[in-house]
A = this chain, B = another copy of it.
Amino acid sequence: MAKLAVDIHGGDFGPFVVIPSCLDFFRSNPQHFGYLFGNAQSYRAYVSESPANVEWIDTDELSDIERATPSKLLRKSGTSSIEIAYKALSNKDVDAIVSAEHTGVLLALSTKYGQLHSQLNRPVLASWLPTTSSETVMLDLGASFSATSDQLVAYAAVGIGLMRSRYSTPKVSLLNLGTEAFKGPLELRTAYQVLSQWEGIEFQGFIEANDLYCGRTHIVATDGFTGNTAIKSAEGALKLTLSSVSDQFTASIWHKLLGLVLKYRLKSVVSQLHPDNANGALVAGSDLIVIKSHGNARRRALTAALNRAVDAIESQSAERIWEELDKVR
């Protein structure tokens, strides 16, 4: 049984996507409880059709000014949906938050309401990659523009903690330009040396970005700038391919029919690789469990984020990550 706080605001599509996706999820999962934080007055029709395991908490909405300058959130106590949800999480009234709010807002509030591990100077954003097999998590996807060797090792430790419940000796890699140990900048080569001595993992050394999506590794550590670039570049390429495929089959009825058959056949390929299925990044490294959904997440993606939250709670990911970070000397 998991108690999930959901911030109905934030994200490109907002409450009209978030709320129905949530109500469906909690209807299908009566063992879990949903706490919907947001401006309930404006969505009364949804409130009245909510199932018994959903509770509404009427709050303000985060303003665009607060959203643009998240550092200000650290200084005063706010009454927005996301901040009230963090207060509930901090009081252990709920087990996790799911929100499509801006990364900067979530990083600031996790710092404000959570206890950050001493090895980190800000929370780390861990995101699942779309792969055809296995599970691969990449981090940091957050606000780090570059990373020292110590930070790269700490990111790897967060990833190890996250994957430890599933794999007894998780496979760990560092993203680099080439696979040879002498390649790349000094900080990567130093982190390589540290991780090659780490016990209880299978250290795979350096991985190149073209090997990220084949499920070769469980954990990829990199700085936020590089990680964001890698994942966005793959998303751009995949989305363009998928839309190009669709465009090919609209010319005539015969093509449309063919397109339908092919769409069916392609479905399993697409669903494995579609970024939506990998939605739900973990704001990690504090004692709180917060799942960030894509800003442009649609229904399928939001369901993936809710499932990710349940999984993080059940696998005690925050504690496990803390344990691994304790091993960093």
Contacts and interface: CB of A to CB of B under 8 A. Distances in A.
Residue among A233, A235, A241 having the largest count of chain B Cβ atoms under 10 Å = A233
7 contacts: A146-B185, A177-B229, A210-B239, A225-B226, A234-B236, A244-B272, A248-B269
Interface string A217-248: 00000001110111111111111110011011
Contacts of A244: 132, 269, 272-273
A213 interface: yes
A268 interface: yes
A266 B265 CA distance: 14
A46 interface: no
Interface in A244-281: 244-245, 247-249, 255, 258, 261-262, 265-266, 268-269, 272-273
Q: Pick the 9 closest A-B CB pairs, nearest first.
A: A210-B236, A209-B232, A234-B237, A209-B233, A210-B232, A230-B233, A244-B269, A145-B185, A233-B233
Contacts of A240: 132, 213-214, 273
B236 A248 contact: no
Nearest to A243: B132
A269 B266 CA distance: 15
A326 interface: no
A93 interface: no
Contacts of A249: 265
Copies in the complex: 2
A177 B103 CA distance: 12
Given A146-B146, A146-B185, A229 B237 contact: no
B228 A214 contact: no
Contacts of A230: 209, 229-230, 233
A241 B239 contact: no
Nearest to A224: B177
A262 B230 CA distance: 29
A175 interface: yes
A185 B225 contact: yes
Contacts of A229: 175, 177, 209, 226, 229-230, 233
A64 to B, nearest CB: 13
Nearest to A226: B229
A225 to B, nearest CB: 6
Contacts of A209: 228-230, 232-233, 236
A248 B233 contact: no
Nearest to A249: B265
Contacts of A146: 146, 185
Contacts of A266: 245, 248
A132 B184 CA distance: 32
A89 B62 CA distance: 62
A264 to B, nearest CB: 10
A208 interface: yes
A36 interface: no
A90 B175 CA distance: 37
Contacts of A184: 145, 225
Contacts of A258: 261-262, 265
Contact of A236 (B214, B232, B265): B214
